[in-house]
Chains A and B, each alone.
Chain A
């Protein structure tokens, strides 16, 4: 019985947010805020991600089969369910609706427990990591991801993606993935590692702003904010706090429900580390 009791206790502790004195053995809790009202859907983040993370260009045929490797992709929708159905309108009344989508770095990730070889695991930084050389390509994780943010190497895309001298651009800080391996957004883990090691060399703690993800750094409107949710001075924490979004709950219990922060599909209890701020339209 004590096993069950421990399990339940641990589970409820695990389910609590870091603010509520929950599972506290994290060193950092990397998180993000994306202001959809500032996002213009320009795609700069996506191409920056290709450049930073050695993402393969798969070509038109593979793309048609849904094999594109865009870790950061911009989804575009034409309707606005929150503002009511405008389907009867003759032409578009407002602009389009853009959604930058990358791995939400869930803290109760649905991809992790299904991996038969524990290639998908959780780091002490709160990252949802993928160990490429452990991955056997079962694709259970991608099957379980409600956001469709995991990308599988069905072929050895690298053979055609970087004809010489394009290969000279490859980022040596990370690998080039081969056939049979699942990959996804890492929150630019190589940048996190470099910043951590630099901070250690300087004998100091990581400061807010030391780490910029590639998408954040290039974002022309500064719609993306990244940082440590456990650092209560960090921009990302302040924004989560301001919009009363918290980890550790499948449903935000906001004092002011009109505030803009929300996590995508959080009702699925995945605990995403990304808060989106609702887009605004004058109507």
Chain B
């Protein structure tokens, strides 16, 4: 074999790998390899590992962590690698379906820009270190002898739940701190606050499939709002004959959901609440609907918004208002929801409350808005994220209250508006530790970087914020061995940190997996029989196979009340006459997926642009500026300037410029770095008065042409069908004639 000669015995020995290897090496090397060289590709055919059948994919259940919705996934594993993700059909949350971000979870896992070894800041730069060195440094700075305790320590994380949440809280407790800042740009905190105040629970179950009409104030429930795949499933039924539902979407710039509306209403940003009250006014006075359930104050408020007032504030014509009210009257039950563009203002809470009020006038509560069962384990409940925490975090930094900050699952230095000056403030914090898969903006300025396992390499349990009908714990299990041996499980690290800081109940537990199993063991009947001490492996395996554990839940009822709502009229701003909409889109989401090549190459749903940022303009705005598609416009807000290429279409209010979130990374690997602009960086200061959530849609801007042009890369050479029958459209009346009941 050594001379490249092959006797019969050697030939047979290598045949098992030769078939694979030969095709790889065929062009520029010998067409065979030795058994030694091929050893790592050899699978012992006679005694294969459990379940490993060469050439046969096996499906394992887990949980998708690409966004906070918590869909169940199944990964196809072959020869020790996960090759494809699909939705888990055993969940009612996503019922076997996945979005593009979920599909692209693979490229998060296999990303070539993963951090593969711990790093420690040394002389200004991050340098690779060993785990022992990194953990020793963390012990020195945060251990029992560090002198750090109480409010000097903080965690800044993304939303979390389940047993990771328990460990996070345990670590905070061991540190003697209660500083847990939970950051999530795309969230439903305002909706939850309104629901809590008006219905008595923050996440009521929504049934689009039972509604004959959905009126949505900027809730992008098909793209980014709450639980998009769950609602897409409902939408499929909602759009089914014989009782096909109608969708009306009112928003400043078209979202994916708006792009599917029967009636799309361009709305001046910040007037969502007024539109809702104006419609309520028409329902009561024109359509003669009963409003006796409303307190006198609410009725007086509604009376203020007659057609003329509503129209002048919102920019929606009177005819259209009448038409919307008529549809709402005729198509009952309906469902009114309000999303990011309604909530993202100083009066965001008020606007969402006005939408909820409309549900009460229409009698939707109890029909399409139903009480959600109570999840029985409070310690596992989701720890919700929002943008209010980023403001609180910045305040704590400004007051010099923090000496040590740990990050996990959040990238505040990318997502924070410039006016928070978070970079400077964080630089003043003496010790920052990032649990991170990637070198993002925040990680790059940490003092210690701990490379963590990907979602497909780690254990975990997850409880979805929006659960719908099924009260369940969703399980996350490794679908393959870690790609990079230098990475570690977040759960294992949390356990190590807790033990490092304070002796306690976790000392007996070896690793996160052991903890998880013993913790699930305490759930009655889950994996132990009656009166049994030992874990029943069969039951445990069954849970892992299924991916979800349904837990007993108590039914609940609504306790409705109607808060006082106050809304201001729309006001002009001479210096900054226009509005900025930082568009959230399924794809890059808040920017976390900009490092995934499939999603960079996946055209934006509305503009069809790839690999870059753009500014959406209404044709009238474009004409005023004298720009055409691809021309670069300069967008100036009080807090900064960004430039982007124009994309011109009519799915936007004439006073609005929309720039997508997600690009504009200064770090974050080869696919994300140095592409496009980040609209979050120039947001005006301002919060929703009630919840403290940032007014993401409240930024005023001016727009100018720069005289320069770029290359806007997008699919499709044409925006119209040129009279051809490509996407054929028929009217609802025709459908009722053929497929109606």
Interface on A for B, CB 8 Å cutoff? Answer: 35-38, 40-44, 46-48, 50-52, 57-60, 63-64, 68, 70, 73-83, 89-99, 161, 163-166, 168-172, 214, 217-223, 256, 258-260, 262, 264, 276, 278-283
Contact = CB atoms under 8 A, between A and B. Distances in A.
Interface in B706-741: 711, 713, 715-716, 718-721, 723-732, 734-735, 737-739
A80 B260 CA distance: 13
Contact of B110 (A50, A89, A166): A166
Contacts of B608: 76
A27 B180 CA distance: 62
B99 interface: yes
Contact of A218 (B79, B82, B103): B103
Given A43-B100, A68-B601, A220-B99, A171 B83 contact: yes
Contacts of B726: 75, 77, 97, 99, 264
A239 to B, nearest CB: 12
Contacts of B85: 51
Interface in B687-710: none
Given A60-B713, A163-B112, A166-B112, A278 B260 contact: no
Contact of B651 (A57, A92, A260): A92
15 contacts: A40-B232, A43-B587, A47-B599, A57-B597, A58-B601, A60-B713, A63-B610, A76-B259, A77-B718, A90-B650, A91-B652, A97-B721, A220-B97, A220-B222, A262-B728
Contact of B98 (A44, A60, A93, A169): A44
B280 interface: no
A217 to B, nearest CB: 6
Interface residues of B, number: 96
**Pairs of residues from A and B, 3 with the lowest C-beta to C-beta distance, nearest first:** A220-B232, A221-B236, A97-B727
Main secondary structure of the interface of B (DSSP, over half): loop
B262 interface: yes
Contact of B738 (A36, A258, A283): A258
Q: Which of B244, B246, B651 has the most CB of A within 10 A?
A: B651
Nearest to A259: B738
Given A95-B254, A168-B483, A57 B730 contact: no
Given A83-B729, A97-B727, A92 B254 contact: yes
Contacts of A220: 94, 97-99, 222, 228-229, 232-233, 236
Interface string B582-595: 00001100000000
Contacts of A48: 98, 100, 103
B738 A97 contact: no
Given A76-B716, A280-B244, 20 more contacts: A36-B727, A38-B235, A38-B239, A44-B99, A48-B98, A51-B85, A57-B597, A57-B601, A59-B611, A77-B720, A77-B721, A80-B727, A81-B724, A95-B249, A95-B262, A96-B254, A98-B259, A172-B78, A172-B79, A282-B732
B283 interface: no
B462 interface: no
A259 B730 CA distance: 10
Interface in B150-204: none
B561 interface: no
Interface of B: 55, 78-79, 81-87, 94, 96-100, 102-104, 106-107, 110-112, 222-223, 228-229, 232-233, 235-236, 239-240, 244, 246, 249, 254, 256-264, 266, 327, 483, 586-587, 597-603, 605-606, 608, 610-612, 618, 620, 649-654, 711, 713, 715-716, 718-721, 723-732, 734-735, 737-739
Nearest to A148: B717
A283 B732 CA distance: 7
B239 A83 contact: no
Contacts of B737: 258
Contacts of B597: 57, 161, 166
A94 B86 CA distance: 32
B650 A78 contact: yes
A22 B556 CA distance: 61
A66 B82 CA distance: 31
B721 A81 contact: yes
A47 B259 contact: no
Given A37-B239, A76-B606, A44 B103 contact: yes
A167 B260 CA distance: 36
A42 B599 contact: no
A106 B260 CA distance: 29
Contacts of B228: 220
Contacts of B83: 169-172
A64 B715 contact: no
B564 to A, nearest CB: 33
Contacts of A164: 112
Contacts of A94: 261-264
Contacts of A73: 603, 715
Contacts of B649: 78, 92
Contact of B236 (A47, A98, A223): A223
A93 B729 contact: no
A171 B87 CA distance: 18
A155 B127 CA distance: 37
B731 to A, nearest CB: 5
B97 A219 contact: yes
Nearest to A75: B716
B730 A82 contact: yes
A36 to B, nearest CB: 6
A169 B605 CA distance: 25
B606 A96 contact: yes
B598 A50 contact: yes
Contact of B729 (A38, A221, A280): A280
B725 A281 contact: no
B598 A47 contact: yes
B632 to A, nearest CB: 16
Given A95-B264, A98-B259, A220-B228, A280 B730 contact: yes
Contacts of A96: 254, 259-260, 606, 651
Nearest to B675: A60
Given A60-B713, A63-B610, A96-B259, A42 B99 contact: yes
Nearest to A41: B605
Nearest to B213: A282
Contacts of B716: 75-76
A42 B231 CA distance: 13
